[in-house]
Chains A and B, each alone.
Chain A
């Protein structure tokens, strides 16, 4: 006898488009046992507890399509599977992972449900599912549950596994442009596009960011001399090797000066506005501890700015603000920092906060010392005390940048050789030319942070992720290679390999992932039947110019597709006998729902290749965003005639020859007698040849290649060679 319990029978990871949706999901098979008899309205206090623990569930519009819809269902009575779905999604959401898709479906077994939830990061969603189960059980059993701790644990997982915010913004921009992406590691290394059309990013570096340029950017002295040679305003100055030398340089340049490490980063060990020998020598001491050398420079008047260059465009600019407090005659500077600065909700120590908490670090102490203060000083009422000369550069000023300043900044990036550069610039007024105000570019940074532009403390967020994506994929390119997905109940492998043959003949390097293994060109690199991972390998291979991927119904049900969209989706046929009772797929309509996934993902400019002799398959034509090419042995089928009459394309056999028909026009491609794979043992059924020919045609391959392909396919077999 089952207890009141929620048990996970299995959790499937559908890492691509599935019968549920396009993005990745987890599909949990959940047994709720006796709870089947206890919908939520029958559990006293359940609704109240759930609402108290997760008040944000109010936003779930489910069932009634209105705010509070889901909670209304809980009050009126719904079952744990459904509740589990919503709680999982809400927990993920609270932990900072995107994705709001969920579904709960009964199976043929009583009390067993399939709960489907968005899973952009599998590890997090798995954990969220389990947390949700525990939370719901605690609510059912009226046990205490530490919700904040559970969310915090999930948030830690998000930080560990999910993309950083800068990378996430780029990935989001790519998604907006329908550019597919693949994460290549647990960090922020991401592939955009497929195969030979791919580009990679690693946070704010791209595969076009030159390593040599990065080396130059790290050498501030070299950077400065290159910029200066090309007429970009920089603060004059030089490297120094001792305290005495620092003072000597300061005198040559003229006070006040800046002292900083030559290869430091993030403003560590940088000292501004130094006017005395003592201050300069002290600064030298600290700066020399940060990097390999120390530079003394003219102190450039004004605010720090960060301008972001992507490609050859200046896409964002932010300004820094000094941080200061006003004395009240009672509080110490420490206390004033807490009450006047750190109380600002924008300040905090996470990436969510555009401004950092102000701390009395060494720089701040030096700044105070210069004013004759320390942290415990109580400044007189009304007196302004400068705490931080370089606050966060987080105030958007993109629209104010003078064109000549932008031109200098872009040139600076080109001189260093960076495609993406964060240029640090000091100027009083960014809306005026630098030359007028003695402003200067002080640093060029590779791999710049994007947060200050994505989430400025003040002003308009800038679409810098979009700029990076546009830079990598100009002119609307989506980074796609010709990609054919082959699905159906039978004959997929032969079709896939024949299409691969056409593509090879057309001069493309082609990857084929089929039940025979994974093939790169002629080479079999894996003998095991290709699964989702093998298919993904095909799309990761930067040498592949085309890919053909076989997807059986079972693969779609248990793994999802390995690609987001494809140019051509082939469905060979639908056999009602081929059921998957263990996955609750028993009815022809359910098989249809699985196989249609292949047609759902056809790109608007692409084609579905469908078996006209199979009613259910032919019916999928209505689901396709692109064109449809029908195939059938019998060209006289009414469905084909109708299709042709509508000006569309079909492939069939007429008078012992394969015919490509387009509206009223026919092309006789090749007589059947010239297609050896039809008669060889083991050979291909004619339908497979027709499906492949239709796919080749849909790919706009030259008909010569298709003809040559069917005339040569089958002999010799691909050379087997495994790693």
Chain B
């Protein structure tokens, strides 16, 4: 068994809405039915008992090793703690070649699991050992390493629940929520509006204290000290007991509390001095440590934090008691669990010594032995949720502290006897505020109720009805995509929105093109959704990107499918029939939001059938107003758009909007059928988006489709009284549509310039000239710039073959080079002629045509100018 290609489908795709790996797996004859490999399944199970059922219940057909591979990949991830369930193994038309699709939550973990699964299958096949534990440990470690941490994860989870899209911007915890102009970001538990100044203030405890004091928030009196002696002096001013701590410390490092003697204070100074730039001495406030979490103007959670401790039983040593406590399965090593193991390290031993113990002491029954003077979870402390008990005035101080420092997510550390009474009444104080606080103690407190912290953060960033989305339109189909995309974007632009648009010419933000080339894939779509100014997005969604990586968005508001052609790209990527192609293009329809709309061409049955896959509503469009689907849809009081003579009509029940084709310059007064179809699709999309009809009409009227704005999209030129159309049509359907459009236009003599793209099927290349041969007098064939793997002259031969039975074409030329071919055709044009140039290198060819025309004008102008005219009389 071999894996020849692995793709990561990072968005909704052909198989599912989930992220998945798609592997192309080839199996030998024997491997195609594992039942035939003696003992394979038993050996596989022995090595990985948790693997799922290989044979689907009640099915007799044989199971391939590729299926075992898929199940093993899924099972390994699942055992390593990844919540994955989707797996599919599909045979291709090529015998022994399978597509194995396995869901992943982290791409790297999925890839590693696939690698291990392959090793596992091979081990089972050859009866060699497989170290399952090592594999799972490696997967688990990798997953823990790269997946979103629990604090950030809780916020992401809350966003997902609200339907807000998110995207990780780094391997770390920087997350973008929402799209375009509506995006917000967080970095761990810090929102994008938390200011850097507030963070710096929170870092400076002395400054924080000054500001809190100014706002009337109780703080412990104290001051920074210069040296150990000054620390002692400060302690005497304040009146012992005191706290000695580093000014810029974190996680309680170097902090000594409740110390009174000179020796203690001098020693504590020495420790604290190692951790920060300066040392503070403050009044010691007896009581518990509380952590209050403020989000925006709300107290969201409160925890009491207790230091690691054990209680004596007069039997066991402290070391034994600690070991006993650490047996609690909830106590882990790192930050992932709700409790962490208690460490009996130097700090713990020093703490014990203060109380007169050693680790080998046996404390009396019921004696509480504290192992550390701080209550951080990461050093074995516990957190008990007390949110519901916090006194309103107590809470108000925490909120005031957050406001004063300027943090919109703020962990406020309070020392007080209890939270049920106001701070002042018990001499409690706020001792610190923290930017980007850990949320773990509130999400999974050691004791008490978990709090919906992530939800609170999301609620602060997004108003209740706001899901952070901008309208997204996806357009698929074989022909007309680019024009439809441009027209929809134009209509939204007229509506005052800054539209991000991707198509096969590039990426556009408003009028500005920010990327050039075929940008109809998911990466370009994601880039648009990242842009901070964009109000709306329209994506041309080509088959290639869907197959390669899935969609660049989780769902869209409007999905437009223009048509499914006959011969474009068939034979590539295991897509061998038009039906297969329809399944690919249907992906955008399957991922329409429930409140969204699919705009479907009723006339194309492969497109119309997609209606059943749409979670939202459907608008059918058709050039045939009497098409069954149109009449049925109307009868059901659903929306339709159709052509009625010289107008496009959009109708639902009694509601009817009629737009004369004369008001849509794109259609040349309705002469060009395919542009009428594009206009109908765009009108339907605009309707689905809720655009005002005045805007739609204005937009249709102002849409320009020349070589500058829509290069290669039926651009018209005048040359010596002849008409030239340049188009990037490159498949039989497109060419058929062009021919139909041109046939309606009067012309003396018709000529066409064409090449064929090498990556099409022979039959499709031939078909192009078959069509042209019936409609043109002269055909100029040229060899494409990019042969895409074909031999020199091969394409030309195919093109010529297509002309074999041509009814009209008499004059056929073969030219090397696109410009030369264009020149050849143009040289022979006379007034009243019509020429169609099927351009390949779109921009260069258009520029060449324009240059020819300009040069021609200059020459004729010079010839018209009589000599001597410039002499003044």
Contact = CB atoms under 8 A, between A and B. Distances in A.
B192 A723 contact: no
Interface string B211-226: 1011111110000000
B185 A417 contact: yes
A723 B698 CA distance: 66
A72 to B, nearest CB: 48
B194 A211 contact: yes
Interface string A198-238: 00111001111111111110010010001001110000000
Contacts of B195: 200, 205-211
A722 to B, nearest CB: 7
Contact of B530 (A207, A226, A446): A226
Given A202-B197, A207-B198, A231 B515 contact: yes
B196 A214 contact: yes
Interface stretch (A273-281, A536-544, A591-599, A630-638): A536-544
B532 A446 contact: no
Nearest to A225: B169
Given A189-B201, A229-B527, A543-B400, A205 B196 contact: yes
A723 B404 contact: no
Contacts of B473: none
Contact of A537 (B214, B400, B509, B532): B214
A701 B204 CA distance: 40
A431 B238 CA distance: 63
Interface size range on A against B: 35 or more
A520 B403 CA distance: 15
Interface in A540-559: 540-543
B531 interface: yes
Given A537-B215, A723-B216, A209 B196 contact: yes
Contact of B532 (A214, A230, A722): A230
A212 B191 contact: yes
Nearest to B169: A222
Contact of A415 (B403, B404, B532): B532
A147 interface: no
A338 B532 CA distance: 49
B624 interface: no
Most buried by B among A230, A415, A536: A230
A214 to B, nearest CB: 5
A229 B197 contact: no
Interface string B387-408: 0000000000000100110100
Secondary structure of the A side of the interface? mixed
B422 interface: yes
A194 to B, nearest CB: 12
Nearest to A521: B216
Contacts of A219: 170
B460 interface: no
A230 B514 contact: yes
A540 B214 contact: yes
A212 B192 contact: yes
A646 B847 CA distance: 78
Contacts of A211: 187, 190, 194-196, 198-199, 435
B533 interface: yes
Nearest to B530: A229
Contacts of A200: 195, 197, 406
Contacts of B207: 184-185, 189
B216 A541 contact: yes
A253 interface: no
Contacts of B494: none
Contacts of B826: none
Given A229-B527, A543-B403, A723-B218, A212 B198 contact: no
Contacts of B187: 211-212, 215
B532 A520 contact: no
Nearest to B191: A212
A222 B196 contact: no
Given A207-B195, A520-B215, A523-B216, A212 B532 contact: no
A20 B95 CA distance: 99
A137 interface: no
B279 to A, nearest CB: 18
Contact of A202 (B200, B211, B507, B527): B200
Interface in A451-482: none
Contacts of A184: 207, 210-211
Nearest to B187: A212
B424 A212 contact: no
A54 interface: no
A206 B532 contact: no
A189 B200 CA distance: 10
A219 B187 CA distance: 13
Given A212-B192, A230-B514, A722 B424 contact: yes
A205 B195 CA distance: 9
B193 interface: yes
A561 interface: no
Contacts of A721: 422, 424-425
B658 interface: no
B169 A206 contact: no
A231 B531 CA distance: 9
A528 B199 CA distance: 32
A353 interface: no
Contact of B192 (A229, A417, A543): A417
A411 interface: yes
A615 B219 CA distance: 47
A625 B479 CA distance: 74
B20 interface: no
Contacts of B88: none
Most buried by A among B190, B192, B219, B404: B192
Given A520-B215, A540-B215, A229 B526 contact: yes
Interface string B488-519: 00000000000000000001010010110000
A662 interface: no
Contacts of A537: 213-216
A230 B530 CA distance: 7
Interface string A513-535: 00000101001011000000000
B657 to A, nearest CB: 36
Nearest to A219: B170
26 contacts: A185-B207, A207-B195, A208-B195, A210-B195, A211-B190, A211-B435, A214-B196, A215-B187, A216-B169, A229-B530, A230-B514, A230-B531, A231-B509, A417-B185, A446-B196, A447-B196, A520-B216, A523-B216, A525-B216, A536-B214, A541-B215, A543-B403, A721-B424, A721-B425, A723-B218, A723-B219
Given A205-B196, A526-B216, A540-B215, 8 more contacts: A189-B207, A200-B406, A208-B193, A210-B192, A226-B169, A229-B526, A231-B507, A518-B216
